[in-house]
Amino acid sequence: MADTPQAVIDERVKDVSPWRKALIRPELGGIIGTVAVFTFFALLAHDSGMFNAQGILNWSTVSAQFMIIAVGACLLMIAGEFDLSVGSMIGFAGMMIAIFGVTLGWPMWIAILVTFAICMAFGALNGVIVVRTGLPSFIVTLATLFILRGFTIFIPQTLERKTIIGGIREAAEGDWLAALFGGTIGRPFFQWLGDAGVIGVFDRGNRAGEPVVNGVPMLIIWAFVLIVFGHILLTRTRFGNWIFAAGGDAQAARYAGVPVDRVKILMFVFTAFCATVFATCQVMEFGSAGADRGLLKEFEAIIAVVIGGALLTGGYGSVIGAALGALIFGVVQQGLFFANVESSLFRVFLGVILLLAVILNTYIRRIITGER
């Protein structure tokens, strides 16, 4: 033992330069895209209010929304599966909170917890069906998309004869759990900024003197917490390796002793959890749940994840990349409004920018990883 040199060079590990190592990261495309997008809007919309306090809050809130669902979609996609029911889940979860908390009058924290339980059960059901039947998750969750959207319209129609249920804000007043989703933090700091003249204040109405931005919404805090959690889970734990393995080659992973089925089901549950967080923040902020909430959000989540460098086929990707993808998406979407782009051209711009981001990503990845 003593005569073995300390630094044994394992012949199975190829020597990679640190420079190259830094480049072989799924989030590289996301980083480049983020820089490009911010440069673009800094040039085009710098004097439009996009970069004052209110403007920053606006696009960061929209980005944070995308981030919350992108983290779930990202981990699930790395594990090799899709969830198309995210958008419907958002509408469904919001409606459940409204039904339990307003129509049935339960305490809001119970309504929220029960909703989380129901939605995560639906997530688990998605996972179990996919794993047991071996059907593509695309089809299974497409069915869930319709089922959940159907319930979201049917239940309030039957109970209340309308498809929008309001009064959630009043029902949630003073509730400890609701405050975790709907409130803002850092108010004194923003008041101080407002008093100091750093950010604008309301100049009329009963909020005169208050700063136009009165805190960081909990939505943004949730986004950060989920990103940090997802990143650590994926890159620093054994479970993270299992996620990559399950999505890379499920059969090989099974031979190596990875509980592939459990990993996939848990990721479906986590995606449902993220969708429910999104929905809860939304109903707490806006005070009403509508049957048409969350339409097409599943695609927005997938787009953010793909911009962030994940492979649609699974086994490759990063949470930080997905978060950057969500940031790009949010900034582009709101930034185009700030840049005064004619609104009917909005989708054209969005499509072109998304396409460029994805092509750039794929190109970089191919060069670096040497895959064909």
**Binding residues for another protein (CB under 8 A):** 48-50, 52, 54-55, 57-59, 61-62, 157, 161-164, 166-169, 200, 202-208, 212, 282, 285-288, 290, 292-296, 334, 337-338, 340-343, 345-347
CB of 135 to another protein, least distance (A): 28
Q: 3-state secondary structure string, the chain? A: CCCCCCCCCCCCCCCCCHHHHHHCCCCHHHHHHHHHHHHHHHHHCCCCCCCCHHHHHHHHHHHHHHHHHHHHHHHHHHCCCCCCCHHHHHHHHHHHHHHHHHHCCCCHHHHHHHHHHHHHHHHHHHHHHHHHHCCCHHHHHHHHHHHHHHHHHHHHHHHHCCCEECCHHHHCCCCHHHHHHHCEECHHHHHHHHHCCCCCECCCCCCCCCECCCCEEHHHHHHHHHHHHHHHHHHHCHHHHHHHHHHHCHHHHHHCCCCHHHHHHHHHHHHHHHHHHHHHHHHHHHCCEECCCCCCHHHHHHHHHHHCCCCCCCCCCCHHHHHHHHHHHHHHHHHHHHCCCCHHHHHHHHHHHHHHHHHHHHHHHHHHHCCC
CB of 149 to another protein, least distance (A): 13
- Quote the CA–CA distance of 149 and 294 in Å, as a whole number: 10
CB of 11 to another protein, least distance (A): 55
Q: Which is nearer to another protein, 106 or 286 (CB)?
A: 286
CB of 90 to another protein, least distance (A): 9
Q: Which is nearer to another protein, 62 or 263 (CB)?
A: 62
CB of 329 to another protein, least distance (A): 13
CB of 98 to another protein, least distance (A): 10
